[in-house]
């Protein structure tokens, strides 16, 4: 997460998660390799959405680790980091992992449809 607006007390926390990792640059092949290394989904295709959504909820716990937040007004929260630099580095790593999963899952979906 490289958004300079994400600081203690920032209201730019959620939108910053929509950014790609700061160091993505030349990493697409690494993402492809990571996606290929993921285990294949062996459950019924009809169950994939629920499985993937559940995984996303579990991963979201990591996204909120080492962060505290407090309501500051309507639709406004104050965000505090125990270690902002480490948090941002970990956030970029988590984004890469999720991007790899998304690629693997998209490929699995297309492959299953066209079998």
SS3 64: coil
| Token pair belonging to 96 | 């890469």
| Token pair belonging to 100 | 């790899």
* DSSP letter for each residue of 66-87: TEEEEEEETTEEEEEESSHHHH
pLDDT surpassing 80 at residue 44: yes
Predicted confidence (pLDDT) per residue in 6-38, tens digit: 555 555 555 566 566 666 666 677 888 888 888
Task: Report the alpha-carbon distance of residue 87 to residue 89 in Å, rounded.
Answer: 5
Helix axes 84-113, 48-63, angle to 10 degrees: 170
Whether the predicted model's global pTM rises above the 0.75 cut: no
Nearest one of 101, 112, 98, 106 to 38, comparing CA atoms: 101
Q: Where are the domains of the chain?
A: 13-21+42-113
- Per-residue model confidence (pLDDT) at position 1: 45
Let me know: does 69 contact 12? Beta carbons within 8 Å.
no
């Amino acid at each position: 997460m490289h958004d300079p607006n994400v600081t203690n007390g920032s209201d730019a926390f959620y939108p910053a998660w929509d950014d790609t990792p700061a160091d993505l640059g030349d990493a697409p092949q690494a993402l492809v390799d990571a996606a290929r290394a993921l285990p294949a989904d062996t459950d019924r295709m009809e169950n994939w959405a629920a499985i993937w959504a559940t995984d996303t909820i579990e991963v979201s716990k990591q996204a909120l680790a080492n962060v505290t937040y407090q309501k500051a007004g309507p639709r406004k929260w104050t965000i505090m980091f125990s270690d902002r630099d480490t948090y941002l580095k970990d956030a970029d790593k988590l984004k890469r992992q999720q991007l790899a999963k998304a690629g693997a899952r998209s490929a699995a979906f297309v492959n299953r449809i066209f079998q």
